[in-house]
Amino acid sequence: MKCRVVLAPLTRQRSYGNVTQPHAAVYYTQRATADDLLITEAMGVSATAQDLALRPRVQLRAPARRGGARVQHGQGGGTADELRWEAPGVLAARRVTVEEIPVIVEDFRKAAKNAIDAGFDGVEIHGASGYIIEQFLKDSVNDRTDEYRGSLENRCRFALEVVDAIVKEIGGHRVGIRFSLFTDYMESHDTDPHSLALYISTKLNNHSILYIHMIEPRLAMVEGRRVVPKQLLPYREAFKGTFIANGGFDYEEGNKVVTEGYADLVAFGRLFLANPDLPKRFEVGAALNSYDRMTFYTSYPVIGYTDYPFLK
């Protein structure tokens, strides 16, 4: 990829009844170029994995959602479908049983297959933001009493089972995974995130996946300016595939980390949300649109979604 700018997966909540709508194809096509990677809003892997009605779900029958995958890229571009499992209803109030774990793994496998059948180029496994995979990974929330708790090997077991099932179904060259190991989304934190990140990054080499997408620790303020901590280098060096960094980068910082070899690609969220032609603006040094935080999660199909202006 010549273009090192990636669209980060962003929750937008415009999928009425959990069904991807035509305006989603407009949104992603606006942000597609001849040589980029777009990662979609996370999709629930099954009805059991779905909580909110405005978030998309990978349908049991792939043809039902082909319209959402028809993003017009040029040669070299690609779209990855992010797969998520959140704990709705009664499951949120208790631990998943050992007997339920293979069922969830199977849900991920089927969802990956359906995503490829629907026209996506690959999938990104959502292992971040306090959802189920991260709940297994981090010792602050993993209070299980079985083979999935305690040591790093045990806490990473579920994540690697999901990865293994998906890789066997669609191939490692179509698979990435996202982590937020240094954050505390939904009170999910770890007492030693460095060891956790190093262990899982190293173990993923055994599965030959395409990339790891990792979120930086919280931004720091230096002389009144937000500065990216840039603490992900050990995991970039441990993992032998493509490494995507995410977390508060602007053009200057993003260009620098790619040039220095700190990351292969840089994912942008809010900047790409508000600037559908972000790579072009970076290229020519144009001013950026400001994002409207009030419309991030509203259900409007146009306002705050597909109405951000392009360069003239």
Helix (H, G, I), strand (E, B) or coil at 27: helix
Beta carbons within 8 Å of 293's beta carbon, 6+ residues apart: none
Q: Find the distance separating the first CA and the last CA of the chain, reported in whole Å.
A: 26
Max intra-chain CA distance, the chain? 59
User: Is 265 in contact with 255 (CB distance < 8 Å)?
Assistant: no
Phi then psi for 120, rounded to 5 degrees?
A: -70, 150
**CA gap 239, 199 in Å, rounded:** 10
Radius of gyration of the chain measured on its C-alpha atoms: 19
Is 131 tagged catalytic?
yes
The active-site residue, picked from 16, 27, 28, 131, is: 131
3-state secondary structure at position 257: helix
Name residue, tokens 């409007």: 300
Residues annotated catalytic, as ranges: 131
